[in-house]
Each structure stands twice: as structure tokens, then as C-alpha cells.
Chain A
Amino acid sequence: MDMTHLDDVQLMRRVQQGDFGPFETLVARYRGPLLHAAWSKLGDSQWAEDVVQEAFLAAFAARHTYDPSFSFRTWLWTILLNLCRKQYKRREERPREIHFSPHTPVDVLPFAEPVSHETGLSRLLCAERKEELALCLAKLPEAQADALRLRFFGGLKFSEIAHVMDSSESAAKVRVRNGLAALALLLDADEGAHS
């Protein structure tokens, strides 16, 4: 049964009532943006998969605590960012080099397979752009980078970013603005170094 027309609250109400099928629609709705953000934060597609998987499972297991007074996606993104931090700590115990290698095979990246008219070169360029962005974000203070991920990867409103980051709405805006300004400076510096 197609439930894509239902909003998050309606879907979660059904899940809370014991009909678990609608959770599938929520997973399909948010998996992509969450994966994108987790990959850019952790720098490893397998870790990102694990964290996103765990975020969905945690939301499912704690479904009884969901309250329609807050938005589901705000809750989900809050869980994801917290799990990413935990993941970092967990991995620190089993150290492994974290980097967005420019030589990462494109097939390993957690992104969609290209459509047929794409060439190998365009796939490579696309992967490079994503890596460039992820590398730049990794150089920013965590709060600014997270605010940018929430705004641009998650498409969250500033009020929602404030909820996820437990800040005021104006602080969320300042983080996004300062993050963009810092990113612009980094890009300018990179360009200066290349030319």
C-alpha cells in the first residue's frame, strides 16, 4: 500500500498503534539525506551505513516516546548527530585512518548509480565535488558544519536546526552564516594556492 502521501505524524501514529509497515515509508523518505550527512561527517561509507541503520532502529525501538508536538525529522536528525559522535568515540578505541581519499573508488561511495547517459568522467567529477565539500566541512568547527549539513543536506528550517542543536533560532542562523563565510574563505584560499 502506497503511503507516501501521508505525513510523518500520520505514519508514526500508525507505527505506534502496531502497524509497522509505514515505518518503511519513513525510512525511504529520510535515508538518503541522513546517509549523505553521516558520510560527510564520518568520512566512511560503511560507518555512515551503520549509523543511519542504527538511527532508524533506535527511532523504531523508542517509537512510544515520539510525540507529535515535535517533528519526526527533527527527532531523527538529533538521533543521527548523537550517534555519529558516539560512533567516533567507538572507533577511536579501534583506530582507523579517517580521510576522504581522492582515490576512493566511486563504487564505494554511498550514492546513486549513475543514469545511463552519464560518462565515467562525470561520475568521477561528481564524486570529487562531494569529497571536496566533505573535506571543507571537516575543517569547520563541528557546530557550524553540523548546522550546514542540517540546512543543505537535510533541508531543515532554521527553527528545526535550533531544535536539533538545542539552540535558539538566531544562533542556528548565525552558525549557518558563519559556516558559509568560513567555507568561502577556505575555497578562496584553496583557489589562491592552486593559481
Chain B
Amino acid sequence: MNCDQAFEHLTDPDLADSVELRQHLVGCPRCRDMQETLAPALALFARDHAAPGSMPEPRPAGPSALDVASVPCDELNPPAPKFLTTEAVEIAEIAARRLSTRTPAHDQRWRIALRYAAVFLIGCGVVFTVAGGRLGGGAPAAAPAPQIADCTRVEAARNDLALRLPSRQVVQSCVACHLATH
């Protein structure tokens, strides 16, 4: 389970107590912190979910949308809806149009955004290489980043030490590995 999936479990009243989530929380201080921060709000929703009156019941009296479906009718003589405005039907139609066209459009937008991001990153890489070559001719080489074997996170996962590691040490190890500087 990754952190994304952990958040999905955390916010699903039926999965909030799953074994997978508990195992993930043991090894992930970041998600553990998030769970602690959100705990009061999550508890409020959990209580609401478990409350006996959580699911509203149809009122016995009064007209119901069921009337529309249960009246004998055919395609030529559709039932006359109650309480229905033209505006509401328009809302439904617009929503249907938007939803049916949405997915490809969004995918396309993401693809375009990714293409721009790739071009930007390549550009940045070229600029840094050129600038580094001009300015840093005599500068000492960058300190080598620590080996993967020294990574505290990897070590913690391997030896199940995550619980004993202070969060400061975990952060330092991430900075050391992933943001190695001169």
C-alpha cells in the first residue's frame, strides 16, 4: 500500500480499520502524522456513519419520484413528473453532456501539460549544464550523494526500525539522499 491508497482507506469508514492501513501506518511517519491531525474530523464522520439514523428513510406520506416510475405508461404517453422544472432537466442534460465528454478532454489536457513539463525540464537541464560548464570550471566536484544502502528509510523498512527512528533523522536522510548539494 502506498500513501495515496492509505489516504483512501483513511477516508473510507468501511476501510479505516483495515489491516493493510495499520501496517502502512506502522512504517510511514508521514501518514501517521496525517492520521493524528485528521483524527477528530474522521471520528465525527465515523460516528455519523455508525449512527442508527444515518440513512434517511423515505417519508411515508407525500408524492414520490416512485410515482413517476410506477404509473402505467408507455413511450408515447410518458408520465407527468411532479415538482419538476425545465431548469432541473436542463441541469441534468448539461451534466450528462459534460460527463460524457469530460474524460477524454481531461486526459488530453494532462497529456499537453506533461509535454510542456517535459520540454521545460529538458530546457532547464540544458541551461544548467551550459551555465555549470562556464562558471564551475575550477569548482570542486559535488559531494557524492550517500549510497542507497545508507538510506535510513530503506534500512528502517528492512529492519522494521521505523517506530524507533525520530522523524528529524528520517527527514535528514531524505534530504541527504535526494537533495545532495555542493
Residues of chain A at the chain B interface (Cβ within 8 Å): 15, 18, 20-24, 27, 31-33, 35-36, 39, 49-50, 53-62, 65-67, 69-70, 74-75, 78-79, 82-83, 86, 109-115, 118, 122-123, 126-127, 129-130, 132-133, 136, 148, 151-152, 155, 157-158, 163, 166, 168, 173, 176-177, 179-181, 183-184, 187-188
Contacts and interface: CB of A to CB of B under 8 A. Distances in A.
B59 A60 contact: no
A25 B124 CA distance: 57
Interface in B80-105: 81-85, 87-89, 91-93, 95-100, 102-103
A136 to B, nearest CB: 7
Nearest to A182: B41
Interface residues of B, number: 60
Contacts of B49: 152
B144 interface: no
Nearest to B57: A112
Q: Please classify the interface of chain B as helix (H, G, I), strand (E, B), loop, or mixed, using the class held by over half of its residues.
A: helix
A177 B66 CA distance: 37
A82 B64 CA distance: 20
B56 A183 contact: no
A112 B53 contact: yes
A36 B55 contact: yes
A109 B53 contact: yes
In the A-B complex, list the 5 residue pairs whose CB atoms are closest, starting with the nearest.
A111-B53, A62-B92, A56-B65, A183-B41, A65-B96
A188 B39 CA distance: 11
B11 A176 contact: yes
Nearest to B81: A57
Contact of A129 (B48, B70, B93): B48
